[in-house]
Amino acid sequence: MTRLVCAAAAVLVLAGAATAAADDEPVEATPTASEAAPTATLSPESVLEQHRAKPLTTASVPTEGERSPFDMHLYWERGINYTVLQRIWLGTKDVSLLDENATLTGRIGLKLGLDTAGYIEGGSVPDVGTRFNLRRALFYTTGEFRFVYPILFKFDLGGVGDSLYFSDFYFWAKDVPYVGTVKLGQFDAPMSLEALSGSTNETFMEYGSPVAAFAPGLKVGLQLADHTESRRVTWAFGYFTDGQEPDVGDASASIARLTGRVTWLAVQPEADDDLLLHLGASASYVLSSRDRIRYNSRPESFLYPDIVDTGDLETNNAFPFGLELATRRGPVTIQAEYLASVVDAGDLGSAYLEGAYVSAGWFVTGEHRAYDRSVGQIGGLVPALDFDPWQRHWGAWELAARVSWLDLSDGQIRGGQLKLFMGGINWYWNRYVRFMFNAGYARVNEGTNDGRLGILQARFQLAF
């Protein structure tokens, strides 16, 4: 019954998206209130704006007496911004190889997370005690280089846990005729609303266990993506292979993945407090040359080891897919996903592995999460008022709860079943600093581990 319901839901989403796309007029979409008049307090940057270079200002352009063969200017705007001009000399005059609208511009930033966690174990689950560690520390640069065609780029490098980590590393061309956007490099393959919205914007400290098990995570590949004129329907499709071991996601070794995602903004808000309804579906074909298909997950805590794990399955292909739903009305956001994978595990037989979560978040201080219609993703938050005790401003406060379920046992495959409740409190000081507090209870059985786990964890996050 579950499989029939999910299949019917997938058909409904895809049919609705197709209908909305067919009904689109080639006219400019009517913006929502937040899009028509973006504010620093309620409208964080879209995915595109995070990469787009800032136009050169008068202060950024060197004067006649300051010109040199190589000009680089640094300034602060939500990070360390830079502009670069390379010039050549012809006689007594210097000629720019690139005009002032065709230069290298970008921003240097940092993503830092420090975690601490304590656990109460029962049964045969691992006993790890209290832990403190670096969750991630990634330096990145993102920007735009204009030569023949404007190219957006992003490079991340730093540490995740105790390991050196290469995260996003890609180039991106937008508004390519007949295609939309073309993305090449290492980035998250298009599956799962929660994973694509990004860890920096995530409501909880970690993704839900089904997302951690089935979402592809970081892959090397080529992706084509676009949206309709009204931006109510988006789609992305790509060919991927393994790159850096994913921080979170599917643990399979794959030489090839074909992955696609389509989203539909079924209910479009006309104002910030109006109802928004997002529906989405994604699917993938995974080919493993080393007969290593594998799914596992921690109990939504980075400092705890994997608690459910199929181990390496001797099969060379799998068919994961997912369904998405998200709705927002004012300060309340509700989000749900169902993810599953169909695996033919050879001597172990065919298996259907699945999981789902439902989460809700409420900003007590009245803010709401952004929604980027150009890519069908939920964004982060900028507090209406920054934390300033002298002015009796306390930043933004969010209460959240999530219920998740993951079943990695079917037939002879005994990866285990995990049921988990997680509650959270988020305190945003400003657009850069956030404190996160999570408390959860997990029950695991039908696998190597059989027992209960209480979780109490916290994170300091700095991102600019």
Mean pLDDT value across residues 294-322: 93
Query: DSSP readout, 215-230?
Result: S--EEEEEEEEEE-TT
pLDDT band at 5 (very low <50, low <70, confident <90, very high): very low
Inform me whether the pLDDT recorded for 354 exceeds 50. Answer: yes
Dihedral class, residue 303 (left if φ above 0, else alpha if ψ from -120 to 50, else beta): alpha
Per-residue model confidence (pLDDT) at position 313:
87
pLDDT at 314: 84
Mean pLDDT value across the chain: 83
Distance of CA 18 to the CA centre of its chain: 25
CA-CA distances (angstroms) from residue 190 to 308, 335, 388?
24, 17, 39
Q: Which domains does the chain have, with CATH numbers?
A: 2-55+101-463 (2.40.160.10)
Question: Quick one: CA torsion of 312, 128, 122, 421, rounded to 10 degrees?
Answer: -70
Distance (Å) of CA 409 to CA 22, 352, 438: 41, 8, 27
Length of the chain: 464
Per-residue pLDDT for 101 more than 80?
no
Closest CA to 294 of 305, 309, 276: 309
**What pLDDT, in 10s, does the model give residues 18-31?**
444 444 433 333 33
pLDDT at 159: 85
Least confident range from 136-140, 221-225, 275-279, 402-406: namely: 136-140
Question: 160 versus 23: which is more confidently predicted?
Answer: 160
Mean of pLDDT values over 38-53: 46
> Minimal CA–CA distance to 282: which of 349, 339, 346?
339
Partners of residue 170 on adjacent β-strands = 154, 185
Instruction: With a cut of 50, say whether residue 105 has pLDDT above it.
Output: yes
Q: How confident is the model at residue 228 (pLDDT cuts 50, 70, 90)?
A: very high
- Taking 60 as the threshold, does the pLDDT of residue 358 lie above it? yes
Cβ-count burial 341-372 (b if 16+ within 10 Å, e if not): bebebeebeebebbbbbbbbbebebebbbbbb
**Closest Cα partner for 453 from 153, 119, 140, 214?**
119
Q: CB-based burial of residue 139 (10 Å sphere; 0-12 exposed, 13-18 middle, 19+ buried)?
A: middle
Q: Which of 153-167, 172-186, 224-238 has the lowest mean pLDDT?
A: 153-167
Separation of alpha carbons 92 and 95, rounded Å: 10
Residue 423: what pLDDT?
98
Distance CA 48, CA 26 (A): 21
Q: How confident is the model at residue 46 (pLDDT cuts 50, 70, 90)?
A: low
Q: Identify the weakest region by mean pLDDT among 176-180, 370-374, 415-419.
A: 176-180
Q: 460 — phi, psi (to 5°)?
A: -100, 125
